[in-house]
Structure 1
Amino acid sequence: MPKVRTEDGAEIFYKDWGSGQPIVFSHGWPLTADAWDAQMVFMGGQGFRVIAHDRRSHGRSDQTWHGNDMDTYADDLAALMDALDLHDVVMVGHSTGGGEVTHYIGRHGTARVAKVVLVGAVPPLMLKTEANPGGLPLDAFDVIRKGTYDNRAEFFRDLTLPFYGYNRPGAQVSEGVRESFWLQGMMGGLKGQLDCIREFSEVDYTEDLRKIDVPTLILHGDDDQIVPIGAAGLMSAKIVSGAVLKIYEGGDHGLPTTHQDRFNADLLAFVRGEPVVGARAQRSQEDA
C-alpha cells in the first residue's frame, strides 16, 4: 500500500489514480479515503488525477498517540502534496476534511492550490460561543465523545442514521452504506478518533478561511443534522472572498454518497470552470 512518511515518522496511506490535473480529497470523521471512491472513479474517468488519503489514526494510516490535531493533519496533507510534487491542485474537503483543507491553506498557503471545494464542512466553528451563537453546545460533542469511548461499534452504527438523513420520513435507507460507514470507522484507532472530536468541534477556522484566495465552491445541505448549515456553510460563504455557495434543499450531511450523481456533476462543472447549476456567488464580509 502506498504511504508517505511524515516528519514525526507516521506513515499516511493514500490512493493515487489516473492522470491530469490533480484533485485531492480529504474525508470526514471517522471515515477513510474510501468514502471518496465514487468521486475518484468519476473524476478519474473525466481525465483528472485523483488522490485521497487516510487521515492519521484513521483507516490504513498509522495510529498515533500524539499528533491527532488539526495542525498535524494539515502538515500531513502538506507532506503528501510535497512528496507527490502536486501543483494546480483542486482541494476537496468533506466535514472534518473541510477543516483540514482550510487549515492547510492557513498554514501552507495556496502556492500549490488552484481551487477549493468545501462540502458539509465544519468551518468556521461548530462550537457555540458568545461570538458564535449559531453553533452547537459543548454538551453535544461530549455525547459524541462518550458514545465513541463507551461503545464506538454501536455508536458508529447509530450515527449513520442522522449522517445520511436515513432518520427522515420517506428516506431510502441503504444498509450497505451504513455497513461501509461502520467498517471504515472501526478501521481507525480509538485514541486518534477521540482526539479528532475536539478538532472538528472546537477549532476556529475563521482566519484560515480568510486566507483562501482561490476560487471556492461551498456545498451544504439545509437538512444537515451533523454540521448545521447556519453556523457552517452559510458563515464560510460570507468569509471566503468570492465564494460560490450551493445549498442542497433537504440535503443531509453525506451528500457525496446520498446525492452522488448530482454532487459529481457539480464538482466536475466547478473544476472545469463551468457554471454550477443553482449556485450563487457570495459577497464576503470583507467585500461588503
Structure 2
Amino acid sequence: MPYVTIPGDTDLQLYYEDSGGDGRPVVLIHGWPLSGEAWAAQVPALVDAGYRAITYDRRGFGRSDKAPDGYEYDTLASDLNELMTQLDLTDAVIVGFSMGGGEVARYIGTYGESRVAGAVLAAAITPALCITDDNPDGGMPMEGFAGLRDECRGDRQGFLEKFMTWFFSNPSELTITEDQFRDVIRITGQGADKALQDTIIAWATDFRDDVAKFTVPTLVIHGDSDNNVPFPPSGKRSAEMIPGARLHVVAGGPHGINTSHADEFNRVLLEFLGSL
C-alpha cells in the first residue's frame, strides 16, 4: 500500500491512493470523521473523464498513522504540502470537503498556488465558523465546539452515530440508504480518539486571511439543508470573499452532498475542471 512519509521526531506514514495517468491531478481531501474512502463516488467519475484522482487519509484517520499530535491546521496543511511535493504534483486542483476545506485554505495561505490550478470548497468550514467579537457572522461560539468535543470524548460511538445522522439528513430525513450509513460508520471506526477530539476544536480556526489569498479559479459547492456546516456562515461567505468564485447550491442537499447527491456533485465538479 502506498504511503507518504511525513518527517519528524518520529516519522509518520500518510496513506494515499493514486489512480495514476497523465491527466490533471485532482487531490481529494476528506471530511471528519472519515477517510479517503469517502470519495468512492467521485474517483471513478474523475478517472473516466481522464483525470488523475488522488485521495489520502488525514493523520489519525483511516489507514494513516495515529499520531500523538499535529491535529491543527498548520500541521495538517504541512501534511498536504508533503503529499503535493513528494508526488511532485503540479497544475493540480485541490478539493476540500468539510474540514478538508481548511486544509485547502491553509495550504494556499501558507504555501501559495505554484502547484495549484484551481480549488474546490465543498460543504467546507471556511472562512471562519467560530463566532468572535470580530467574526459575529460565524456559526457557533467556541463553547459549542468544546461541547461537541466533550460529547465525542464521553460517548464516542453514540456521538458518531448522531453526528453522521445529521451529516446525511436534510434537515431531518436521511438521504442515503441504511447500507451506506452502516458503511460510513465503519469508516468512522478507523479514527483515533485524539484525532477525532482535537480536530473538532480545529474547526474553529479562522481562515479569513488564507481565503483572501486565493487567486486561482475556485468552486464553492454546498447544500442548502446542511445541518453540520450551515450554508450562510460558510459556503455563502466563502463565495463572497473569493473574487470570481463559482457558487453551486445543492437544493435539499445535506452536509454529505458528495454521497447523497453524487451525480449532481460530480457533474458540477467535472464542469468546473473542464473550464480550467
TM > 0.5: yes
> For this pair of structures, how many residues does the alignment match?
272
The change in CA–CA distance for 1:129 and 1:59 in structure 2 (over 3 A counts) is same
CA contact (8 A) 1:17 1:44 kept: yes
1:197-236 correspondence runs (5 A):
197-200=200-203, 202-236=204-238
> What's 1:125 paired with?
128
Residues in 2 aligned to 1:270 and 1:132: alpha-carbon distance in whole angstroms: 30
What letter matches 2:33 in structure 1? P
Match of 2:101 among 98, 105, 109: 98
- Percent identity reads 39
Q: Give the drift of 1:162.
A: 1.1
RMSD: 1.4
1:94-173 correspondence runs (5 A):
94-134=97-137, 135-165=139-169, 168-169=172-173, 171-173=174-176
Gaps of 5+ in 2: none
Q: Give the drift of 1:130.
A: 2.2
Gaps of 5+ in 1: 275-288
CA contact (8 A) 2:102 2:125 kept: yes
188-197 or 263-272, which moves further after superposition?
A: 188-197
The change in CA–CA distance for 1:80 and 1:173 in structure 2 (over 3 A counts) is closer
TM-score normalized by structure 1? Answer: 0.91
Q: Give the drift of 1:131.
A: 2.4
Residues in 2 aligned to 1:176 and 1:136: alpha-carbon distance in whole angstroms: 32
Residues in 2 aligned to 1:14 and 1:173: alpha-carbon distance in whole angstroms: 26
2:37 aligned with 1:34: yes
> What's 1:188 paired with?
191
Residues in 1 aligned to 2:69 and 2:133: alpha-carbon distance in whole angstroms: 31
Q: Give the drift of 1:138.
A: 2.5
> What's 1:284 paired with?
none
The change in CA–CA distance for 1:123 and 1:166 in structure 2 (over 3 A counts) is closer
What letter matches 2:164 in structure 1? T
2:223 aligned with 1:258: no
CA contact (8 A) 1:166 1:173 kept: no
CA deviation vs aligned residue, 1:240-271 (integer Å, no higher than 9, x gap): 12111111122110000000001001000000
